[in-house]
C-alpha cells in the first residue's frame, strides 16, 4: 500500500471542528480528504489537504488539547501556509470569510509576501507567497541579521 500521509502534519483543536472544516474550506481553500464520524454523527477524526500539505482538524480531547477560544485566545503555535498564487487575493478571501486580519500583506526581507490572520476560534494562521528571489547576503544586508542555513 502506498504511503498517502504527509511527512509532517499539524493537528488543530476546535470547540466546533465541523464548523472549522467548512470555514477552512471557504477561507483558505482547504479540501476535506478524510472524515470519520461516530455513531451520533460527531467528528472522530478529520484531515484537510492544501496541495501536498495536510492538517488534522479535531475536537478538544483533553485538558491539554484546547481551542484558543477555550483558553482566553492564547496560542502556543501558529500554522504557516505557503502558497504559489496571489497572496493579496488569498487575504481578501480569508477576510470575506470572517478572518480577523492581524497583519496586512507585506513583502518581507527574505522575499515572501505574507499576511497573518485569526480564525473564528482564535487560531493564528500565516500565509506567504514567494514574490522575489533573495540571496542570503541580500537578506542579511536588508535585515541586519546574521543568517545561517539559508537554502
Domain boundaries, the chain: 9-62, 77-151
Mean pLDDT for the chain overall: 93
The CATH number of the structural domain formed by 9-62 is: 3.30.720.120
Mean per-residue pLDDT for 33-61? 93
| Sequence-ordered strand ranges (E) for the chain | 10-14, 31-37, 43-50, 53-59, 79-83, 100-107, 112-118, 124-130
26 pLDDT higher than 60 = yes
Share of the chain above pLDDT 90, in %: 85
Please determine whether the domains at 9-62 and 77-151 fall in the same fold group of CATH. yes
Q: Which fold has domain 77-151?
A: 3.30.720
State the pLDDT at residue 150. Answer: 83
Confidence of residue 5 (pLDDT cuts 50, 70, 90): low
Amino acid at each position: 500500500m502506498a504511503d498517502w500521509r504527509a511527512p509532517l502534519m499539524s493537528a488543530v483543536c476546535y470547540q466546533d471542528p465541523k464548523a472549522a472544516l467548512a470555514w477552512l474550506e471557504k477561507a483558505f481553500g482547504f479540501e476535506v480528504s478524510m472524515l470519520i464520524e461516530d455513531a451520533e454523527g460527531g467528528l472522530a477524526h478529520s484531515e484537510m489537504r492544501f496541495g501536498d500539505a495536510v492538517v488534522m482538524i479535531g475536537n478538544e480531547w483533553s485538558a491539554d488539547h484546547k481551542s484558543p477560544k477555550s483558553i482566553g485566545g492564547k496560542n502556543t503555535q501558529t500554522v504557516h501556509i505557503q502558497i504559489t498564487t496571489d497572496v493579496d487575493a488569498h487575504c481578501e478571501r480569508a477576510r470575506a470569510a470572517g478572518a480577523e486580519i492581524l497583519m496586512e500583506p507585506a513583502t518581507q526581507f527574505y522575499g515572501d509576501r505574507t499576511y497573518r490572520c485569526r480564525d473564528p476560534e482564535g487560531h493564528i494562521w500565516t500565509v506567504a507567497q514567494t514574490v522575489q528571489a533573495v540571496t542570503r547576503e541580500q537578506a542579511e544586508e536588508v535585515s541586519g541579521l546574521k543568517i545561517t542555513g539559508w537554502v
